[in-house]
Structure 1
Amino acid sequence: MMDWLAALMAITQREALRFIGQRGRFAAALVRPMLWLVVFAAGFRAALGLSITPPYATYTTYEVYIVPGLCGMILLFNGMQSSLSMVYDREMGSMRLLLTSPLPRWWLLVCRLLASTAISILQVYVFLGLAALFGIRFSWGGYAALLPALVPAGLMLGALGLALSSVIRQLENFAGVMNFVIFPMFFLSTALYPLWKMAESSALLRDICAVNPFSQAVELIRFALYQQLNAAALAWVLLSGLVWLGLAVWGYDPARGLIRKAAKPG
């Protein structure tokens, strides 16, 4: 058990030092959602009306509505950033060296996942602090209740990044992942528009958004900010996270995944 905890502490410390050394990464993680909050939301405030839907007990402004989605955006993009660093570590050889540890491979991946999720949660709370400066505030109880929601949501999206990193062979292919995975996952969700608004445009789009695991993560965050539990969203998030983590462990199996691919000539 001490060896397992030592591995967790070592990997967490390594990720923390990498994060501290990459100040641009921290700034980019905050600039992106702040631009959406200040610029995008201001443009759509008058054009997009929102009805009273749970967890809101009254009419709400568009800026308030998209804050949970922007929190999800931070978790999603940081999960993909972790995926990118995994691909980099594999090309540099440090990832293969880590996987030669006598500890179970799944535990090493979980340690990496926990470390990246902790960094994502820190970024979310910093973003909420900046949003408060623009007048978008929640209750102290909401901020506290948010943490138990951010953990499974961050782990799920981080597990997705791990699964993707097991099949991405080169850093150059990461742009394709951004275009075909991250952006569709974000835009086809409830991060920017409620489901009833999507249904007005297309019933198919509404159904896609409803089953999108990222939508469920956003709704889990949204309800938590109002100290409510969305049990269905939590179940969907946990199930998706377990599936993606299983795929990541399978992908990093030497018999079929990362190491075998790395050994192929060319």
Structure 2
Amino acid sequence: MTVYLIALSAIIKREALRFVHQRERFVAALVRPLVWLLVFAAGFRAALGLSITPPYQTYITYEIYIVPGLCGMILLFNGMQSSLSLVYDREMGSMRLLLTAPLPRWWLLTCKLLGATIISILQVYTFLFVAWLFDISFDPLGYIYALPAFLIAGLMLGALGLALSSFIKQLENFAGVMNFVIFPTFFLSSALYPLWKMKESSVLLYQICSINPFTHAVELIRFALYGQFNATALGWTVLAVTAFMALALWGYDPARGLIRRKG
């Protein structure tokens, strides 16, 4: 067990050092959601009406509504950014050194996933602090209740990036795949618009948004920020974590890679 913890600590420290040396990554992670919060939300506020639906018990402004979705945006982009670093590490050879360590591959990948998720959660709370400075805030206990939701949502999105990185072999191809995954995942969800509003415009889009794992991650965060528990969102998010992680472990299976090279 001591060896496992040493590996976990070392990988998390490596992720933290990489993040510290990439300050522009931190700034970009904050600028993107803040633009949506402070610029786009001002225009959508008058055009988009919001009814009183759970977890809300009164009418809210559009800025309040999109904060959980923007927290999810940070987790989503950082999950993809972390997977991009995996592709880079594989090209440079450092990923090979990591995966050849005398520990189970599932543990090494889980450590990598946990390290990236912890960094993402720190960025989310920084964003929430900046939003608080602009008088967009929640109950103090909501910030504590939301921590497990951030962790589970971050693990899900990080596992998705991990699975993608296992099938993409060239760094140049990953940017296009990231855009192909990020934007449909984000826009076809409840991050920016309530599902009932989406249903009014298109039943097909509503159905797509309903099965999108990112929607359930956002709703898990939304309810948690109000101190409420959404069992359905939690169940689908945990199921997505399991599925994406299983796909990543299969993609990083050395036996599968050996068979493919022989073929």
Pairwise same-fold verdict (TM > 0.5): yes
Amino acid at match of 1:120: S
The answer to whether 1:37 aligns with 2:37 is: yes
Gaps of 5+ in 1: none
Aligned residue pairs total 263
Aligned to 1:71: 71
Mapped to 1, the partners of 2:132 and 2:93 lie a distance apart of 43
Regions of 4+ moved over 2 Å: none
Q: Which whole-Å CA distance do the structure 2 matches of 1:249 and 1:47 have between them?
A: 45
- Whichever residue aligns with residue 37 of structure 1, its letter is L
Question: What is the one-letter code of the residue matched to 2:4?
Answer: W
Counterparts of 2:124 and 2:78, CA distance in 1: 10
Distance across 1 between alignment mates of 2:138 and 2:34: 17
Q: Could you list the per-position Cα deviations for residues 97-126 of structure 1 after superposition, in whole angstroms to 9, with x for gaps in the alignment?
A: 111111000000000000000001000000
Q: Does 1:80 align with 2:80?
A: yes
1:97-246 matched pairs, under 5 angstroms: 97-246=97-246
Task: Give the counterpart letter for 1:161 in structure 2.
Answer: G
SS at match of 1:46: helix
**Cα distance in 1 for residues equivalent to 2:81 and 2:25:** 9
Q: Hey, what's the Cα distance between the residues in 2 that align with 1:187 and 1:143? A: 25
Percent of matched pairs sharing the same residue: 73
Counterpart CA distance in 2 for 1:170 and 1:129 is 37
Q: What SS does the corresponding residue of 1:166 show, helix, strand or coil? A: helix
Q: Residues 260, 252 of structure 1: CA spacing in aligned structure 2 closer, same or farther, 3 A cutoff?
A: farther
Whole-angstrom CA distance in 2 between matches of 1:16 and 1:112: 11
Secondary structure class of the residue paired with 1:11: helix
Matched, 1:91 2:91: yes
The one-letter amino acid paired with 2:166 is: S
Shift of 1:264: 7.8
How far the C-alpha of 1:249 sits from its partner, in A, is: 0.6
Task: After superposition, give the CA deviation of every residue in 1:238-261 in whole Å (9 maximum; x if it has no partner).
Answer: 00000000010110011114x766
Unaligned 5+ segments in structure 2 are: none
Match of 1:254 in 2: 254
C-alpha displacement of 1:156: 0.6
* TM-score, normalised by the number of residues in structure 1: 0.97
Q: Deviations over 1:43-65 (max 9, x none)?
A: 10101110111000011110000
- Determine the structure 2 residue equivalent to 1:47: 47
- Alpha-carbon shift at residue 178 of structure 1 (Å): 2.3
Cα distance between partner residues in 2 of 1:195 and 1:4: 43
SS at structure 2 position matched to 1:75: helix
Report SS of the residue matched to 1:59. coil
TM-score (norm 2): 0.98
**By how many angstroms is 1:167 displaced?**
0.6
Letter aligned with residue 53 of structure 2: T
Distance 1:18 1:178 in 2: 20
Q: Partners in 2 of 1:108 and 1:45 — Cα distance?
A: 45
